[in-house]
Structure formats: structure tokens, C-alpha cells
Amino acid sequence: MTAVDEPIPTRVRIQTETLPTQLPARTREEFEIDAVRQAVFDIRDMSVHYGAKEALTRTTLKIYKNLVTAVIGPSGCGKSTFIRSLNRMNDSIPAFRLSGQVLYHGHDVYGPGVNRVEVRRRIGMVFQKPNPFPKSIYDNVAWAPRNLGLRSHLSERVERALRQAALWDEVKDRLKKSALGLSGGQQQRLCIARAIAVEPDVLLLDEPASALDPVSTAAIEDLILELKSRYTIVIVTHNMQQAARVGDRAAFFSLDLTENVGTLIEYESVETIFRNPHDQRTREYVTGQFG
């Protein structure tokens, strides 16, 4: 175990003001990930095209169980495309085409005979802009479990989801009121509660806090750290501090300037990405020199 305040290697000049002043204490062992962690997603050579235009090119990485994987990078470089491809939310976009493999526990998500509904049941998603249903708070959370047949102990399920989403205390007295009356931060926590009420295997979060104020953002970041023990989480964020705070591993995407297509530049642990990135472009991004 190396100490938190080990001196930064001098060959790398990083402007320390742009980094969080102290990375949260974590186990710092250099572990052989594959031997220790289960790979939930094994993405091999994935490329995404919208018609003739290539949006994401030849991406290969593994997402590990019960870790928070942050997807960072400048806007327009395919982060949303990437994450939405994991649970087939891009299918409804016309001319969407994916090549390569997205293996979820060994099964190709885009394979023949795969049921999209089952994919999304296991791999949930929370979107950038809160999208609560025009129903009561209770019904928002209870709706999907009801569909799934999880009708017994439904109230307990709703309460537990709301508690896990750190929303229960604020709404317990008005569960029957419309969800549209909640504030933005509350609505987003409701969307998270909705997603975890069905207890998926994976949670995909597409910039969940970018439309929220700092207080709500902090609440959601805390939430993510708590949820990590139960779920595998992939979070897209343009906020590097957020990535460093909640993430265990980080995938840095950027635009390949010659081809104008999104590319995975580097995928390492958060410590490596932020303190000691291998790629020059990563270094430039995390130190704020571009993007």
C-alpha cells in the first residue's frame, strides 16, 4: 500500500490546481484486474455508424463488476453514443449501425435472438435530463416493478428504492403527489430510484448531474458511491472532478482530429488517468489544456 501523498514523478508536469487536492483514500494495490474482478462488459472492436458517418471507432475495453467506470472526454466525441450502445438505446435512432461485439457476461448484446427488453431490464439507464413520468411519485417507482410482476411487497420495494436514492425522507409524506412537482435534483434522484427499483445488474448514468445545481450534484455523487457495492456503474461525465471523485476507472474518449470520429484514447484506473496518464492527449485533457 503506497501512501496517498507519494510524490508525483517529476517527468510528468501536471498543474496541480486542476486536480482535486486530495484523491479519496482507496486501496492502491496494483492488482491484476482480470484475475480479481469479473468483467461485466467485454467490448471488442466496437464501432458505431449513423448511416455513412462513423461516430465511434474500434473501441475495446472491459467494464468490471462493482466498479464505477467513468467515461470522460470533450463533447461530441461519442461518450453518449458509447454508453447508449451498451443497452441498445441507440436502436431507435435511424441508420444506427454497430459493428464489433458488446459482450455482456459473455453474451453479445447485439446477437441474434437477443431480446432488447431483457437487455434493458438488466442494464438500466438514467438520463441527463430528468424524465419523470407524469404520474405520482409512488407510481413512478412502482411502474416498472409492476410490469415485471414484482407485485408482492411493492410498497417496501418502492420505499427501499427511494431510501437508496436518498429521496425517501423528502417525499415520504407525498408519495401520491405528482412527480412533476419535485425540484430538478429530486426528480433526478427519483429517476435513479426508478431505475434501481427493479434491481438491475448494471446502471448506466448519462451525465446524470449535468443539468443540476451543485448541491444536488453532490448528493448524487454520494449516491453513486453507495450504489457501487450493489451495482456495476458506468457514468458519462464531462466534469473531471466528478470522475475523479466517484470513479474507479476512467475511459477517456476524444475526437480523432483527422478522421473526425470518436475514439477511445486511454482506459486506466482513475489514479493513472489523472496523475500519470500514458497518452499525451489524455494529459492535455485532464490538465485542462483543451476540451
- Kindly state the smallest distance separating residue 270's Cβ from another protein, in Å: 25
Q: Based on the shown chain and the rule CB under 8 A, indicate whether residue 143 belongs to the binding site for another protein.
A: yes
What is the Cβ-side half-sphere exposure of residue 238, based on CA atoms within 13 angstroms? 14
Contacts of 114 (CB under 8 A, 6+ apart): 107, 108
Q: Based on the shown chain and the rule CB under 8 A, indicate whether residue 176 belongs to the binding site for another protein.
A: no
Q: Based on the shown chain and the rule CB under 8 A, indicate whether residue 134 belongs to the binding site for another protein.
A: yes
Specify the residue, 19 or 43, whose C-beta has the smaller distance to another protein: 43
- Kindly state the smallest distance separating residue 189's Cβ from another protein, in Å: 14
Q: Based on the shown chain and the rule CB under 8 A, indicate whether residue 179 belongs to the binding site for another protein.
A: no
Q: How far is the C-alpha of 104 from the C-alpha of 25, rounded, in Å?
A: 30
Q: Based on the shown chain and the rule CB under 8 A, indicate whether residue 113 belongs to the binding site for another protein.
A: yes
- Cβ pair 47, 53 in contact under 8 A: no
Contacts of 180 (CB under 8 A, 6+ apart): 132, 134, 187
* Residue 143 buriedness (CB in 10 A; 0-12 / 13-18 / 19+): middle
Please state whether beta strands 68-72 and 53-64 pair in parallel, antiparallel, or not at all (unpaired). unpaired
Residues 264-283 that bind another protein (CB under 8 A): none
- Kindly state the smallest distance separating residue 253's Cβ from another protein, in Å: 22
The residue type found at 145 is: P
Q: Based on the shown chain and the rule CB under 8 A, indicate whether residue 260 belongs to the binding site for another protein.
A: no
- Cβ pair 140, 133 in contact under 8 A: yes
Grid cell 418502492 is found at 158
Q: How far is the C-alpha of 242 from the C-alpha of 218, rounded, in Å?
A: 9
Q: Based on the shown chain and the rule CB under 8 A, indicate whether residue 95 belongs to the binding site for another protein.
A: no
- For another protein, which residue of 63, 109, 223, 224 counts as binding (CB under 8 A)? 109
Which cell goes with 215? 448541491
Q: Based on the shown chain and the rule CB under 8 A, indicate whether residue 55 belongs to the binding site for another protein.
A: no
- Kindly state the smallest distance separating residue 266's Cβ from another protein, in Å: 28
Q: Based on the shown chain and the rule CB under 8 A, indicate whether residue 148 belongs to the binding site for another protein.
A: yes
CA end-to-end distance (rounded Å), the chain: 34
- For another protein, which residue of 28, 66, 76, 144 counts as binding (CB under 8 A)? 144
Specify the residue, 139 or 284, whose C-beta has the smaller distance to another protein: 139
Q: Based on the shown chain and the rule CB under 8 A, indicate whether residue 160 belongs to the binding site for another protein.
A: yes
Q: Based on the shown chain and the rule CB under 8 A, indicate whether residue 198 belongs to the binding site for another protein.
A: yes
Report the interface residues with another protein, using CB under 8 A: 40, 87, 89, 92, 94, 104-107, 109, 111, 113-115, 117-122, 124-127, 129, 131-135, 143-144, 147-153, 156-157, 160, 191, 194-195, 198-201
